[in-house]
Structure 1
Amino acid sequence: MSADILIVQHAEKTAAPGDPGLSERGRRQAAAVAERLVDARPSLLLSSPLARALQTAEAIGAAVGLTPTVVDELCERSSWPGPEAMPEEDFLRDWRRTCRERAFRPRIGDSSHATAARMARALRGAARKARHGPAVLVCHGGATVDLLRDLVGDRQLEHRYPGAVEHGLPGTAVTHVAVGATGETQVVTIGDLGHLPDDLVTGHVPAWT
């Protein structure tokens, strides 16, 4: 059975290390993407366990009548736990290296290749479980980009969404992936922000959008 998967980036988080929740603007972003998804009539709602993703998923769930299921495979490639565990500059150095060298495993988190593999498992699992409507996966910019690098390749990804590899995707950007009956995938859209007014857009947006 074929399935549509809508990958939603979490809304804007508060500027804090560890596992922060959504900012005030992030809550407004989450409400906007939730309203958009009502018409899509999703049949399944999955979320990363991190607070910023789960709070976004809960806003979506309240609008579409679904309870989000936490799936660890949707977690971000790496998240800065705070200066007590690692200086921020060291974390950022590792993060940038994971973007350049996909096999590199940072001191905190997973390599780009490993993240893409677990995202692909979550995608296939969601496609099997989705019934009578798309599956919504709420996750993170780095993890989604890692998946897309595997699905379409770096060249096509940078053509379709310039700067995605380096900067990720904006808050509540929606990426549509169609999964065929035999498991083949088609990336239909990347980083759609049609539900957000300009004042709610946060994160990297290519100049042509």
Structure 2
Amino acid sequence: MVTGTNSKKKLLDSKRKLIAKYDPKSPISEQYRTIRTNILYSSVDEEIRSLMVTSSGPGEGKSTTTGNLAVVFAQQGKTVLLIDADLRKPTVHYTFKLTNTTGLTSVLTNQIDIKEAVNKTDEENLFVLPSGPIPPNPSELLGSKAMHNFMEQALEEFDLIIFDTPPVLAVTDAQILGNLCQGSILVVSSGKTEKDALIKTKELLTSTNGKLLGVVLNNKKIDKKGSYYYYGTN
């Protein structure tokens, strides 16, 4: 009985987090599509094919934002690879109800091929690569030559790669990935993210030649029905 209750709760949590998939006509899903459009138009000279989504600190909604952006890009017809690059506290496998026995760390350490590690989801065109087993040296692994080689191979297989990364102020992982990606999206939680933390986060992202495409304001209440998501260019 308890098992059934837990399964239902996990399904409801998944549907709540992936609103763009389970309720595509909702106002929030429309906001994610607006973010998608702004990302596409953020660079007129080159097509955006690699993105990372991060935040200043934990609990600001970056993983939910990452998942929904991956969904709306896939719904547009692009083949999308969502990668859980939070090698310390991964959550993407929970959202998509996957196991995390193999993943990004397994590929980077040559234990498995990328094609074997990637999971096809029930959302057409959307593929997910979990973090894999948590390594003792996340930053070194993300900054390795193996990571550069992985990016080259992934870009040959998919139209768009989206990384879910750890918070910027917690560890250096997001800054490392910022150098690999064409752009970064910063998720800010309304009423939670402090101004000083936001300024420091922007400085860290831009100091390593990372391109900050814009900011998503999360959890901004407009009425009793839900939340409002806003995307602003840098």
Superposition TM-score tier, normalisation by shorter sequence? 0.3 to 0.5
Report which of the two structures shows the higher radius of gyration computed on alpha carbons.
Answer: 2
**Larger relative contact order (Cα-Cα within 8 Å, sequence gap ≥ 6):** 1
The structure with the greater share of residues assigned to strand is 2
TM-score by length of 2: 0.36
